[in-house]
Amino acid sequence: MQDASLLSLVSGASVAVKMVLGILLGVSLLSWWQIFIKFFVLRQTRRRADKFEQVFWQGGDMNQLAERIAHEGEQSGEMGRIFTAGFREYGKLKNQGGVEPSDVADSTRRAMRASFQRQLDALESNMSYLATVGSVSPYVGLFGTVWGIMNAFRNLSNVGQATLANVAPGIAEALVATAMGLFAAIPAVVAYNHYARDIDQLANRFESFLEEFANILQRQSIKR
């Protein structure tokens, strides 16, 4: 009965309210798609970072590690790509010779930071969409509510006696738009806050590795 009642309210709504509901439904479905995609991307990123750090801190040969990362390609993960950027820059400076250790550290750090920023930008993709859905959807729903209430009161002018039975259906269909706006906004806001925290944690983790690896390369350049 409740589903039939809800469907009847939606089907009997004005064109403007139907458009608002359709827009909010489409936005909500797309935001849920982005939420699930981001969940799997971040989980995979953490797993690849764990795997890379486990191998890296075992203290094996860096040339072999670089070859392994090159063989794995995209499967090496974000931290592996940061390592590759720094190690490649270190190799270029090493072949040049006569470069100060401080210059080696600065150059490798810049190369890794550029790679770090690219990885971070990729992780943050579509986050702005979730933020927009979370902030705008309630207002879109409110627009549908206001429009529906206006129609409900306008229709009262055609009724000889205003009763609750006359105004209730119009008010109810208008409030459906508000509910739909919240339905779209709440998951987007929760997901945005959760994923923003996860991305910040990964960014701190990548940056810590970047600095530690730059120091390792600087010490190696001193030993040459």
Alpha carbon distance 10, 13 (integer Å): 5
Token output for 213? 């690896």
Mean pLDDT of 82-96: 83
In tens, the pLDDT along 134-186 reads: 999 999 888 888 877 777 777 666 665 655 555 666 677 778 888 889 999 99
Q: What is the model's pLDDT at position 190?
A: 96
For the beta carbon of residue 142, count every other beta carbon within 10 angstroms.
Answer: 16
Asked if residue 120 has pLDDT above 80, the reply is yes
In tens, the pLDDT along 55-66 reads: 888 877 788 888
The mean pLDDT of the chain is 82
Q: What is the model's pLDDT at position 223?
A: 63
Share of the chain above pLDDT 90, in %: 34
Contact 66, 89 (CB under 8 A): no
pTM recorded for the entire structure: 0.81
Asked if residue 3 has pLDDT above 50, the reply is no
Place of tokens 């010490």: 219
Mean pLDDT of 214-221: 80
Burial class (CB in 10 A: 0-12, 13-18, 19+), 21: buried
| Residue 34 identity | Q
CA distance readout (Å), 80 to 65, 73, 83, 117, 165: 9, 9, 5, 14, 66
Domains in the chain: boundaries: 2-223
